[in-house]
Amino acid sequence: MALPLLPGNSFNRNLGKEKFHKSQHWSYCNKVSMLVGEDKPGIGGEPLPGQKLKPKYSVFPRGLGSDAPSWVAFDKQVLSFDAYFDEEVPDKNQELYRIRQCKIYFYLEDDTIQVVEPQVKNSGIPQGTLLRRHRVPLPPPNEDEFYTIDNFNLDTDIIFYGRRYRITDCDQFTKNFLRKMGVRLNPAQNRPDDPYTKERQKLIDSMTPLRPYERFDTLRQFLEHDGHVLRFYGIWDDTDSMFGDVREVVLHYFLSDDTIEIKEVIPVNSGRDAVPLFLNRQKLPKYAPVGLYQPGVITDRTVLNVFGGLVGNKGRYILDNRKTGAVHQEFYKDCDLRIGSAINVWGRKIVLCDCDEFTKEYYRTKYGVQDFTPIPYKAPPPPKVERTFPVYNGFGSEEDSLCSCMGLLPKPPQKDFKKFMEKDRQGLESNILRFLAQLITTDPIDKDRKFIISYFLSDDTISVFEPPQRNTGVIGGKFLERSRIKKPGQELYKSELPEYYKAVDLYVGAKVCFHGHVFLLVDADEYAFNYMEKHANEASYKSSEANQTKRIRTLIFAMANINIILNKLKEIGEPRSREIKQIFAATDPQHTTIIDYDEFRNLMLNISDGKFSEHEIMTIGRYYSVRDENEMDAVYLLAVSQEELKKNNFENFAQLYAHLAYNDRDKCGLLASDKCRTVCKSFRLPLPDDLLRALLASCEDCKDQVNYKKLVDGLNWREHPIPTFQTILIPLQYEDEWSGQPPTLPVKKVKYLPLIEDVFGIKD
């Protein structure tokens, strides 16, 4: 049989403690070392008269079990024994002695013992902890030792400070532990009954009347169904009375006490007062009485007076088990409530039409009901009256005049502040789309005029600027003030708001009419092309006129969406794909798979039969274009950076180098480009973010590493200034000063072979 952990057994602990408590020691007599103490043996090692020697070692062999200390190995492990002791009662005739039940707890970690007596209500005896937890010594003559686990067993007596306890039983954990310790347990004994307690119980039982007694047990129903409420939706048809109508109600049935409450659903603007409850929570009788009962008529029990006050004005009352004269009244239960059933609520007929999911699950589980088809009880909603507004009278703007019709106090029209904050100028992001336009006119002078149309995404406003041209006879400048522009062909005096030009209406090749002047958009700047291609999937939503709940999604920059354009090209050219491939091959006799943009444009116009706009052709050309990799001049970027640092009086180059060197954990003189940018930003280097990115990109090697010492030396305008002639200062220009010239990276060559593979599949 397996032994318990060795550090926890009491023999090893007592053996170690006895070495300190025994008064044994060695001394010298005639210069001879001799044992002096209580354990000194006699001649030949025989014990002296009256001397009792204790075993030197534990009954368990050494070296078995865990090395952990006992307070760790047996932490929170307690042996529990059921015991009792008898107590003499000398000054009472009703009892000569009493039996007191108690619990004995033995803590394995330190061999401490605690005795607790469970408290009994109205016992009159101080109960609770009889013996506080501590190590209890054995009775004399072994008072120098303490109780251990070997002193406990079932059906045995144990003495604590002169009081004898009888151990009758123990719990299962204690039995298992003692069996592992090798203890053979005695059979468990029953606890004896206290004679005085039995006499008291007989007296209490004799006081209980033997007549029939009704027990109303409502606690179980409350505990099982507290918080469970059945919900039904119904109507009360009151159309028979004057000015009556159909009212909607909600019935709540409380399963905890079979009570019902009813709430009325009062519609908005019905003219009725919002009362708290239609019926207060109560038990609802099935049949309403003719008149109200007096208090005490309906009771749970009937009490009879036997003597009637004849004997000394004292009465004797008993319960009437026959319930003579009792008024029986039936109340609504959960079994009486069904969808489609009508209940009588104090003379008002309420029809139950529907219920919630909890109620359906309750009836499905308890009564097996499966049909919960609701009865239509709600009146169809009245037709929505469309709000009409008066016709615009020409004073002020349409939005301002419309806001004056919304309420008694006119308010200014609300602006889209969220859109303004998102699309306003942020750093290098101007959020302005600029197009180059020409006038569509027969006047030979106006044909050569160029205009810059700027569309502001923050508030959908448009401004037109004419760049000055020499020897044209036309003075350039602001042609149209920044404002929203209405689309032509709309009725002026109407109740609806007019339509204005949006971003979806502006693209290269579009024709727009601004106050009678028709413009043709022929080009755009590089920022406009990049922005429209980047936000090609951005859409706007508009409710359809037929169905106001249905919203129509429209792409704002559909002309710059390469996927839509390629699908459109595939639909147009799929029937003659082989012919299109031969046309592209004929324009490239050298088989370089690259053609000029002008030839590509002419081919696309020929293939699409004019169905492609100029902007769509430019989007395809830009997507499949051949661009030369222009490397930024590092010296030029350093020169511009030095000018910026001079303007801001920045001279802390030594501290900047120290910060960069601190972040160089490998001490190799190189840092990642992103790490350098983060350090420069945290150091608050006064350089724009785009200039800093371009400068780091020009200084990094093939592994995206930057030599930060060379970078700091190049920025040091005190010790390594760059000559002035190398610094090219570009003056700040306004957005209306774009001359309309082609972008800095125009599309010159187009790779047509990837285009054919993406649209028509693998090449032949």
Tokens standing for residue 142: 């072994």
pLDDT digits (tens, 9 = 90+) for 198-247: 888 888 777 665 555 566 778 899 999 999 999 999 999 998 888 888 99
How far apart CA 149 and CA 132 sit, in angstroms, is 18
Please check the confidence at residue 453 and state whether its pLDDT lies above 90: yes
- Greatest mean pLDDT range, 430-439, 635-644, 722-731: 430-439
pLDDT at 9 over 50: no
Q: Taking the alpha carbons of 440, 446, 449, 451 in that order, is the dihedral positive or negative?
A: negative
Mean pLDDT for the chain overall: 82
250 beta partners: 233, 263
Q: Where are the beta strands (DSSP E) in 255-371?
A: 259-265, 279-282, 303-305, 317-319, 342-345, 348-355
Question: 103: how many CB neighbours lie within 10 A of its CB?
Answer: 15
- Closest to 755 in 3D by CA, of 611, 615, 590, 585: 585
- Average the pLDDT over 275-286 and give the result: 92
Q: Is the dihedral of CA 73, 77, 81, 85 positive or negative?
A: positive
Give yes or no for residue 86 having a pLDDT over 60: yes
More confident residue, 71 or 458: 458
pLDDT of res. 314: 60
Q: What is the pLDDT of residue 550?
A: 58
Predicted local confidence at residue 464, as pLDDT: 94
Look at the pTM and tell me if it is higher than 0.75.
no
Q: Is the per-residue pLDDT at 653 higher than 80? A: yes
* Backbone φ and ψ of 582, nearest 5°: -70, -35
What distance in Å separates the CA atoms of residue 249 and residue 378, rounded to the nearest whole number?
Answer: 11
709 with 676: CB under 8 angstroms? no
In whole angstroms, give the CA distance from residue 614 to residue 605.
9
Give the model's pLDDT for residue 301.
Answer: 72
Residue 633's pLDDT band, with cuts at 50, 70 and 90, is low
**Measured distance CA(687)–CA(647) in Å, rounded:** 11
Q: What integer is the mean pLDDT of 339-355?
A: 93
Other C-beta atoms closer than 10 Å to the C-beta of 440 total: 14
Q: Can you say whether residue 385 is alpha, beta or left, with left for phi > 0 and alpha for psi between -120 and 50 degrees? A: beta
- The CA distance from 424 to 408, in Å, is 34
CA atoms of 692 and 680, how far apart (whole Å)? 9
Residue spans of beta strands (DSSP E) within 112-193: 112-117, 128-134, 156-160, 163-170
Spatial separation of the C-alpha atoms in residues 59 and 205, rounded to whole Å: 55
Mean pLDDT of 597-624: 86
Most confident listed range (295-309, 341-355, 529-543, 603-617): 341-355
Query: Tokens at residue 369, please?
Result: 């009901």
Q: Is the pLDDT of residue 715 over 50?
A: yes
Cα dihedral 197, 200, 201, 204, rounded to 10, equals -160
Residue 453's Cβ-count burial label (10 Å; 0-12, 13-18, 19+) is buried
CA distance linking residue 517 with residue 456, whole number of Å:
20
Task: Report CA-CA distances (Å) from 36 to 39, 144, 428.
Answer: 8, 19, 101
The yes-or-no verdict on residue 734 having pLDDT over 50 is: no
In sequence order, what are the residues at sequence separation of 6 or more whose Cβ sits closer than 8 angstroms to the Cβ of residue 723? none
Res 358 pLDDT > 90:
yes
CA distance 554 to 565: 15
Residue with tokens 């200039």: 691
Q: Region 100-114: what's the mean pLDDT?
A: 94
| pLDDT score of 760 | 80
Question: Residue 530: CB partners within 8 Å, gap ≥ 6?
Answer: none
- Phi/psi of residue 500, nearest 5 degrees: -115, 160
Confidence at residue 56, expressed as pLDDT on a 0 to 100 scale? 54
What is the band of 337 on the pLDDT scale with cuts at 50, 70, 90?
Answer: very high
pLDDT the model gives residue 5: 44
Identify the pLDDT of residue 11: 40
- What's residue 232's pLDDT? 96
Q: What is the pLDDT of residue 762?
A: 63
Of the chain, the percentage scoring pLDDT greater than 90 comes to: 29
Residue with the larger pLDDT of the pair 526 and 42: 526
